[in-house]
Amino acid sequence: MIFNSYIFILAFLPVTLLGYFCLNKKRTELGLYYLLLMSFIFVAFASKYYLFWLFFSICINFFIVKMFEKKEDSSKRSKNMILFAGIFFNVGLLLYFKYSNFFIDSINNVFNLKFNEKNIILPLGISFYTFSQIAFLVDSYRKEITNVKFLDYALFISYFPKFGQGPIVLHEDLLYKFRDKTRKEVNWDNIAKGIQMFVRGLAKKVLLADRFGKAVDYCFANTGSMSRMDVVVLIISYSFQIYFDFSGYCDMANGVSIMFNMELPINFNSPYKALTITDFWKRWHISLTGFLRKYLYFPLGGNRKGKVRTYLNMIIVFTISGLWHGAGMNFVLWGFMHGVCQILHRITGKVFDKLFKPVQWIITFCFVSIAWLLFRSNAVYRWKHFMDRMIFPQTIPLQSDLAACFKIDGLRSIASAFKIPYTDRGIYIACMVAFLVIGFVLCLVPENNQKREYYLNKKTFIMTFALFIICILSLSQVTSFLYFNF
């Protein structure tokens, strides 16, 4: 089940909200049990297989958390062994499901062997809930969490608004909100705010991300005929697709959670406004950056052991960030490139930061966008192919079929009615330019949806309702979110 589907919007969400707040009036914990049940149903709707591995992982990790409590007076060595076993279990599970075939394929390529790849289905959300559980184990080891109940822990991990694509939530962000009595009753202001945020996120996904996605899919299906202009459109289109896809999900996830009176930590903060790559990573997937900084970069020594060690730690962190996103050399190289760029900014920051700000933005946006194309490519050689098309341009102009991916139905009828001369190619290119301009404006001008003010008046109601109807009518084909693949 995904947020941009009829069953979620028209059935699952209203039933869950109604049941949760009704049961909260009867008994304190009954509403939490109901919310846990609905979160499990949310996962099981995709596959019972996903639910099995989620529940199995929750039980093992909760058992380890309880072992920390029982071993409170034990030696540090004993606790270290328990922590190591817990981390080994979680990382091992992730490595098996997500990276088994990647390792097999790498060994086959390096040693010219022919081991068969395994038919493994990646459990939904495992990358996100694995990191959340590792953080929970470490915090329990540090005695930052005590006397947690299974209900609270299971709900913390499986809470459906953040399950599929995060954020990677730490215990202080959510765990204690479930027991907060002030959050148990219906807050109509939060309901209204949550609906507005959800609809804005839905519009980003349905009206923008999916539209740019059509152009991206077309380009990857016709790689042999790409011209320089085609590749430029591809690069910008994928940059906008992943931006509005992930931003839309974050808005929808937080909008849903606000309806339950539980705000999620901000995970997306207008990253294309960044002037440097360092600033970009303070704005993009903030929870992942925070997790890697707290539980990997700092334990490795951070910047406390000299420049060389600092640079090495940065390369390790960003390479692992790339590998976390996907099992492929393109993801590894993508993370490595971002690590190198971070180091270059540290070295040249005093000079770079004095440049004209639009120049800083152009350099940063171009690097991020070109790296995104590597992120999207299934193999490094495909990315290289597109780069070759950029450097060694072909004589083929922008393809009409690529521009047609942006066409708006009914525009030709409007042009005919007003007797405006037109060609199909001209209309396609006009639509494409309009979408690209809209993409840049929405990325660079308005405040991030999780930071903006929400007003409760007739004008807001009409605009939100109209946008909702447009989105519902546009749900002819339900598409999954990009980060579900990671």
Note whether residue 172 is domain-resident: yes
Count of CB atoms within 10 A of residue 46's CB? Answer: 17
For residue 346, give Cα distances in angstroms to 33, 186, 351.
49, 48, 10
pLDDT digits (tens, 9 = 90+) for 78-110: 889 999 999 999 999 999 999 988 888 888 888
Write a three-state SS string for the chain: CCCCCHHHHHHHHHHHHHHHHHHHHHCHHHHHHHHHHHHHHHHHHHCHHHHHHHHHHHHHHHHHHHHHHHCCCCCHHHHHHHHHHHHHHHHHHHHHHHHHHHHHHHHHHHHCCCCCCCCCCCCCCHHHHHHHHHHHHHHHHCCCCCCCCHHHHHHHHHCHHHCCCCCCCCHHHHHHHHHCHHHCCCCHHHHHHHHHHHHHHHHHHHHHHHHHHHHHHHHHHCHHHCCHHHHHHHHHHHHHHHHHHHHHHHHHHHHHHHHCCCCCCCCECCHHHCCCHHHHCCCECHHHHHHHHHHHHCCCCCCCCCHHHHHHHHHHHHHHHHHHHCCCHHHHHHHHHHHHHHHHHHHHHHHHCCCCHHHHHHHHHHHHHHHHHHHHCCCHHHHHHHHHHHHCCCCCCCCHHHHHHHCCCCHHHHHHHCCCCCCHHHHHHHHHHHHHHHHHHHHHCCCCCCCCCCCCCHHHHHHHHHHHHHHHHCCCCCCCCHHHHC
Q: State the pLDDT at residue 413.
A: 74
Q: State the pLDDT at residue 298.
A: 92
Note whether residue 1 is domain-resident: no
- Is the domain of 420 the same as that of 464? yes
CB 167 within 8 A of CB 265: yes
Confidence band of 59 (pLDDT split at 50, 70, 90)? very high
Beta bridge partners of 92: none
- Is the domain of 199 the same as that of 170? no
pLDDT over threshold 80, residue 74 = no
For residue 325, give Cα distances in angstroms to 31, 94, 279, 375.
34, 12, 20, 9
Enzyme catalytic residues: 325
Q: State the pLDDT at residue 218.
A: 94
Q: State the pLDDT at residue 395.
A: 63
What CA–CA distance (Å, rounded) separates 44 from 42? 6
Rounded mean pLDDT, 415-431: 80
Last residue of a domain, one of 186, 201, 234: 186
- Is the domain of 273 the same as that of 422? yes
Q: Which long-range contacts (CB under 8 A, 24 or more apart) does 27-30 make?
A: 28/181, 28/184, 29/151
Question: Which residues lie below 8 Å from residue 310, measured CB to CB, with a gap of 6+?
Answer: 301, 302, 303
Note whether residue 256 is domain-resident: yes
Note whether residue 16 is domain-resident: yes
**Domain span at 71:** 6-186
What's the number of domains the chain is made of?
A: 2
Q: State the pLDDT at residue 114.
A: 80
- Is the domain of 252 the same as that of 278? yes
pLDDT digits (tens, 9 = 90+) for 311-365: 999 999 999 999 999 888 999 999 999 999 999 999 998 899 999 999 999 999 9
Note whether residue 165 is domain-resident: yes
Note whether residue 458 is domain-resident: yes
Q: State the pLDDT at residue 284.
A: 94
Note whether residue 22 is domain-resident: yes
Note whether residue 55 is domain-resident: yes
Query: What's the angle, vertex CA 287, arms to CA 281 and CA 288, rounded to 5?
Result: 70
Report the predicted TM-score, pTM, of the whole model to 2 decimal places: 0.93
Dihedral of CA 463/469/473/478: which sign? Answer: positive
Confidence band of 478 (pLDDT split at 50, 70, 90)? low
- Is the domain of 282 the same as that of 376? yes
- Is the domain of 15 the same as that of 56? yes
Confidence band of 308 (pLDDT split at 50, 70, 90)? very high
End-to-end CA distance of the chain: 17
- Is the domain of 141 the same as that of 61? yes
pLDDT over threshold 80, residue 476 = no
Last residue of a domain, one of 155, 186, 217: 186
pLDDT digits (tens, 9 = 90+) for 130-187: 999 999 999 999 988 888 999 999 999 999 999 888 899 999 999 999 988 889 899 9
- Is the domain of 240 the same as that of 355? yes
- Is the domain of 165 the same as that of 216? no
Last residue of a domain, one of 186, 212, 243: 186
- Is the domain of 363 the same as that of 412? yes
Question: Which residues lie below 8 Å from residue 150, measured CB to CB, with a gap of 6+?
Answer: 62
- Is the domain of 245 the same as that of 148? no
Per-position b or e across 290-322, b if 16+ CB within 10 A of its CB:
bbbeebebeeeeeeeeeeeebbbbbbbbbbbbb
Q: State the pLDDT at residue 73.
A: 67
Q: What are the tokens at 61?
A: 């990790």
- Is the domain of 169 the same as that of 198? no
